[in-house]
Amino acid sequence: MENTDNAEMTAIVCRAPKDYRVERVQRPRAGPNELVIRIAACGICASDCKCWSGAKMFWGGPNPWVKAPVIPGHEFFGYVEELGDGAAEHFGVQKGDRVIAEQIVPCAKCRYCRSGQYWMCEVHNIFGFQREVADGGMAEYMRFPPTAIVHKIPDGISLEDAAIIEPLACAIHTVNRGDIQLSDVVVIAGAGPLGLMMVQVAHLKTPKKLVVIDLVDERLELAREYGADITINPKTDNALEAIRAITDQYGCDVYIETTGSPAGVTQGLELIRKLGRFVEFSVFGSDTTVDWSIIGDRKELDVRGAHLGPYCYPIAIDLLARGLVTSKGIVTHGFTLEEWDDAIEVANSLDSIKVLLRPK
């Protein structure tokens, strides 16, 4: 929200858990090697909902991850509005280009950034959670600092598809972490926005069987449209029996956890076979307790984390441009910034899948 003049814009400002306000704030300006974009759309992520509700991960401890006040939003894209000195050459863009920046703003100095593992940057500034580098995209305009990783978006990609590039990049990275083989039985637990994108990406890997587990039948129906071979609703189906029936009683080869619920973890440890690959993506609102002996002594599992979408934005843009992945069915609601209270209520419920915010 830095500025040198009195120009203002409308933005959502996070001040504390459940204290997010529609405010008039100073419009950002571009410094050297910086961009200002006019926001086209910004999605509300499950992590935004958990942050809004006060989850310990975001607000707990002596040094909380969220540093309020801050403009939230990391699922944004928009149009280049202002170029600082040298920015056109620095980012390879021109005014009017449709662009997106990766959600993390690497420091470019720590051991992870210097080794190419920038998504694990030790400083770890992410748009929309800390103001040290820049605010997020739930506003009319936002600034990209010099170390932002910027990608251009082709004109042929629809607004709704462009709005899912960030979560799609995360989905691609997660599926890649599963190292899916043609002979694998793959289980994706959770058919929210990320899970449904993972279904589409995993389907492109052509595993032997692709199974999706969720508690909402309508989302399971959408998963089948996206390529799931089998869907399981634990409220009515026995997931363990179903998975064992298609795996000669061994269990699935790959389990991808994206429910954000502790039950998704314990379920996965039960469903996966010995020597299987367990991929954890979710951001949790509460602690998960499991008997870790199942990971080592009983099954010798390969447990892998998945964080952000490193090196996957160009892939996401290409898949959308070729029509191999779609936002259709995933983007369900749209609100203006001024309708924030309604937007977060809908986003934080099972009435929606993906909610977009758009400036008027």
> Residue 231, exposed/middle/buried by CB under 10 A (0-12, 13-18, 19+)?
buried
Boundaries of CATH 3.90.180.10 in the chain?
Answer: 8-164+327-358
pLDDT at 5 over 90: no
Q: What is the pLDDT at residue 96?
A: 97
CB atoms within 10 A of CB 21: 12
pLDDT tens digits, 205-214: 999 999 999 9
pLDDT at 132 over 70: yes
pLDDT tens digits, 18-58: 999 999 999 999 999 999 999 999 999 999 999 999 988 88
Assigned CATH class of 168-305? alpha beta
Q: What is the pLDDT at residue 1?
A: 44
Mean pLDDT of 352-357: 97
Asked whether the bond before 146 is cis by omega within 30 degrees of 0, the reply is no
The C-alpha atoms of residue 272 and residue 277 are separated, in whole angstroms, by: 8
Mean pLDDT of 213-233: 98
The residue behind tokens 């599992």 is 301
The answer to whether the beta carbons of residues 32 and 84 sit under 8 Å apart is yes
Q: What is the mean pLDDT of the chain?
A: 95
The C-alpha atoms of residue 37 and residue 39 are separated, in whole angstroms, by: 6
pLDDT at 4 over 60: no
Mean pLDDT of 328-339: 97
More confident residue, 345 or 6: 345
Boundaries of CATH 3.40.50.720 in the chain?
Answer: 168-305
Q: What is the pLDDT at residue 89?
A: 98
pLDDT tens digits, 55-111: 888 888 777 889 999 999 999 999 999 999 999 999 999 999 999 999 999 999 999
Which two structure tokens, joined as six digits, stand for 17? 């858990």
Confidence tier at 271 by pLDDT (50, 70, 90): very high
Mean pLDDT of 316-325: 98
Confidence tier at 284 by pLDDT (50, 70, 90): confident
> Strand (E) positions, the chain?
8-16, 19-26, 35-44, 75-83, 98-101, 104-105, 125-126, 141-144, 150-152, 185-189, 209-213, 230-232, 252-257, 272-280, 302-305, 331-336, 354-358
Mean pLDDT of 282-302: 91
> Which CATH number describes the domain made up of 8-164+327-358?
3.90.180.10
Q: How much of the chain exceeds pLDDT 90, in percent? A: 91
The C-alpha atoms of residue 166 and residue 151 are separated, in whole angstroms, by: 11
